[in-house]
């Protein structure tokens, strides 16, 4: 290379699709490495859901701060409601819902008694008021949804439907953020340990098992093409 020439560009490192690999390793002797791949995938997905839930809650604070500086509008209310529901859905999908296409990651055993009670109330809110129609608590002073059908004799529209919807609850916001901040590091640490175990297993099998090495080589992954689909 001369002094005025362009520097050599490093060749991109080869990548391999371990999800595809897991689907091709049907033999019993590969079950441990397939399980590791599935566990890494599950922990990564849960970590992303928890991060998104926390981001939604942080954005609610930003909207509320803007509402203090300016008049809180109906649009702001709709935005905070949407962010709150997204936070709830991402959180419960991460730590509560029974997975259909990924392994379950249990973080609830790291919660305190108070956190477990809050976790149950949040999942109940998701199940009974957000994912499905429900009124929430029964008392007049503690509700999530309250709607009535009323009759106003002599009014041009005598049968009316007044309703109240809670956009979000600041106490639940704070409690949910506490749950996320407890669960998040647990998932990150577990994912890192699983990734180390998976790396060791892949390196050993690629060196010792010709069949495994051949299948792995056939599972190449084009990162640029993958992200280019979005």
Is 28 part of any domain?
yes
How many distinct structural domains can be found in the chain?
1
Domain that holds residue 129: 18-139+170-227
Question: What's the pLDDT tens digit per position in 11-64?
Answer: 567 899 999 999 999 999 999 999 999 999 999 999 999 999 999 999 998 887
Is 144 part of any domain?
no
Note the pLDDT of residue 227.
Answer: 83
Question: What's the pLDDT tens digit per position in 185-216?
Answer: 999 999 999 999 999 999 999 999 999 999 99
Is 154 part of any domain?
no
What DSSP string describes the chain? --TTSPPPPPPPPP-B-HHHHHHH--SGGGHHHHHHHHHHHHHHHHHHHHHHHHHHHHHHHHHHHHHHHSPPPHHHHHHHHHHHHHHHHHHHHHHTS--SSS-----GGGS-HHHHHHHHHHHHHIIIIISS-----SSTTS-SEEE--EE-TTSSS-EE--EEE----HHHHHHHHHHHHHHHHHHHHHHHHHHHHHHHHHHHHHHH-HHHHHHHHH-B--HHHHHTT-
Is 27 part of any domain?
yes
pTM: 0.81
């Amino acid at each position: 290379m001369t002094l005025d020439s362009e520097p050599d560009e490093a060749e991109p490192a080869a990548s391999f699709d371990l999800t595809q690999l897991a689907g091709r390793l049907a033999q019993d002797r590969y079950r441990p490495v397939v399980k590791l791949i599935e566990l890494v995938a599950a922990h990564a997905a849960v970590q992303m859901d928890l991060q998104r839930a926390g981001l939604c809650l942080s954005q609610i604070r930003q909207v509320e701060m803007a509402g203090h500086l300016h008049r809180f509008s109906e649009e702001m209310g709709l935005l905070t409601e949407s962010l709150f529901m997204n936070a709830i859905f991402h959180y419960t999908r991460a730590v509560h819902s029974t997975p259909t296409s990924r392994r379950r990651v249990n973080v609830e055993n790291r919660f305190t008694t108070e956190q477990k009670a809050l976790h149950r109330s949040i999942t109940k809110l998701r199940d009974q008021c957000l994912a499905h129609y429900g009124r929430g608590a029964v008392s007049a002073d503690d509700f999530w949804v309250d709607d009535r059908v009323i009759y106003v004799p002599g009014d041009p529209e005598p049968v009316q439907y007044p309703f109240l919807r809670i956009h979000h609850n600041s106490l639940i916001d704070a409690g949910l953020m506490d749950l996320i901040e407890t669960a998040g590091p647990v998932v990150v640490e577990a994912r890192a340990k699983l990734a180390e175990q998976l790396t060791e297993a892949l390196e050993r099998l690629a060196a010792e098992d010709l069949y495994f090495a051949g299948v792995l080589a056939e599972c190449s992954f084009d990162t640029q093409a993958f992200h280019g689909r979005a």
